[in-house]
Chain A
């Protein structure tokens, strides 16, 4: 087997896409044709393939985090439009006014809880990618953390748009046709954007990186929050974040609904949901080890 064949096999083994492999083969083939017998000076094909794969994996993981963040921003805009138009024009219908509570509760989970998961995971993924934008090669563990955050953010983004669609179906007999068409259409469009981001992520996931090093955690991402003391007490961060979120939303809801009781109820729900999210997803998104 020739040096170029070895290189092609090594690139294939590391998941480098076919188009990229073809381009590399042409460029290196041209190099060898310029000076026959120079293969030894080109270096070990395995080492070269590792270098190509590590740099490509880093670049693709970063790009997929940014593309996902942009797609989530569009989905967030759709969610805001749906809620603003619903509140101003039609008003919120009670849950018993829909077709079925079997549609309502998954819809509400999708519209209320999933966007918060998407916001946290998507922001953490994009922030890590931005913070490490100048590094040519990131450790494999760090790339996996970025991709995992991106996966969770995307799943939550899809759940949000699915929740909106369920809401549209559930209240299809109660809400104005124009609102149903507007929100149903926009949510579908945002879903297409999320599909595009998912495709990008799939492409990033197949490339194998071999760079050693730690994945890092939220204390690396947010050095102001981070301290060795807090890092050794991971549950404290979860508790602090949950209480803060619960208090902030409770105060907002109490003001918006002109009801302290309503504020306490919603704030408590939000705090519990945030604590649950920390327990279930904390390790996956790197907010605890």
Chain B
């Protein structure tokens, strides 16, 4: 997961805005549980991505609780596209070597 959490978060939020717990659930579903990370680690990453201007967030009230809902900014979409291209090149290179 080292270094890959940021683009994974961006990819999930590019589909629709979500709060921390929902992002984790989607991450687990989409990866069929492959990513085994301490769940708390997603929050420092969310805060950092927001400080870097790649995410924005607002408070919402749901089930009587306040929660922070995150969405991707325009800069975040561009950064995600760059990371997707980098990943494709990397995956192709690995595949070419591994067969």
Contact = CB atoms under 8 A, between A and B. Distances in A.
Chain A partners chain B: yes
Interface of A: 20, 23-24, 26-31, 33-35, 38, 41-44, 47-48, 51-52, 55-56, 59, 136
Contacts of A44: 38
Given A48-B44, A52-B47, A27 B39 contact: no
B48 A24 contact: no
Interface in B6-59: 19-21, 38-41, 43-44, 47-48, 51
Contacts of B41: 43, 48, 51
Given A30-B20, A34-B21, A59-B48, A23 B68 contact: yes
20 contacts: A20-B47, A24-B47, A26-B67, A27-B67, A28-B40, A28-B43, A29-B65, A30-B68, A31-B20, A31-B39, A33-B65, A35-B21, A43-B38, A43-B39, A43-B40, A48-B41, A51-B44, A52-B44, A55-B47, A59-B48
Contacts of A26: 66-68
Interface of B: 19-21, 38-41, 43-44, 47-48, 51, 65-68
Given A55-B48, A136-B48, A24 B65 contact: no
Q: Is the interface of B mostly helix, strand, loop or mixed?
A: helix
Contacts of B40: 28, 42-43, 48
Contacts of A43: 38-41
A169 to B, nearest CB: 43
A33 B47 CA distance: 20
Contacts of A42: 38-40
B1 to A, nearest CB: 13
A134 B47 CA distance: 15
Nearest to B37: A43
Contacts of B48: 55, 59, 136
